[in-house]
Amino acid sequence: MKAFLKVMRALSDPNRVKIIKMLQHKVMCVCEMRAALQIAQPSVSKHLKILEDAGLVFFHKDGMWVNYQLADGSASPYAASLLGNLRHWLEDDSELTEIVEKLSSIRREDLCGR
């Protein structure tokens, strides 16, 4: 039950749902998500840790960059199922579509270090 609750809890926060929807479109680093969500960097890191613990995302380091992407679902059947469904869920949610639309204008070269 622990793994199931972890996924449910991870997806109970609006900002974490936003992170998932963004990562459906683009691999991102922490400061890109910070800019997109307009929240403090520590909050982003903490959200990502929860998502990672739940098996919903994973990261690769590329130098000083830490790039996050959606997990493939191998870590948790619950994560796999929710990630699969979220591919088509909430696609018409205005708040989410607005954030996703703005992704094309978010580049780490313009943003990070600020």
Partner DNA sequence: CTTATATATTCATTTATAAGAATATAGTGC
Partner DNA sequence: GCACTATATTCTTATAAATGAATATATAAG
Contacting residues toward a copy of itself, per CB under 8 A = 1, 4-5, 8-9, 11-14, 17, 77-78, 81, 85, 89-90, 93, 95-96
Q: How far apart are CA 79 and CA 94, in angstroms?
A: 24
Phi, psi at residue 23, to the nearest 5°? -65, -15
Neighbours of 53 (CB within 10 A): 16
- Residue 95 CA to chain centroid, in angstroms? 15
Q: Is 10 helix (H, G, I), strand (E, B) or coil?
A: helix
For the record, the structure tokens of 28 come out as 């991102």
Tell which positions 3-22 bind DNA, by CB under 7 A.
9, 12-13, 15
Closer Cβ to DNA, 88 or 114, answer by number: 114
Residue 69, interface with DNA (CB under 7 A)? no
Binding test (CB under 7 A) with DNA, winner from 7, 17, 23, 47: 47
| Contact partner at residue 105 from a copy of itself, DNA, none, CB < 5 to 8 Å by partner kind | none
d(CA 79, CA 82): 5
Measured from the CB atom, is 13 or 62 closer to a copy of itself? 13
The residues binding DNA (CB under 7 A) are 9, 12-13, 15, 29-31, 39-50, 59, 61, 63-67, 108, 112-114
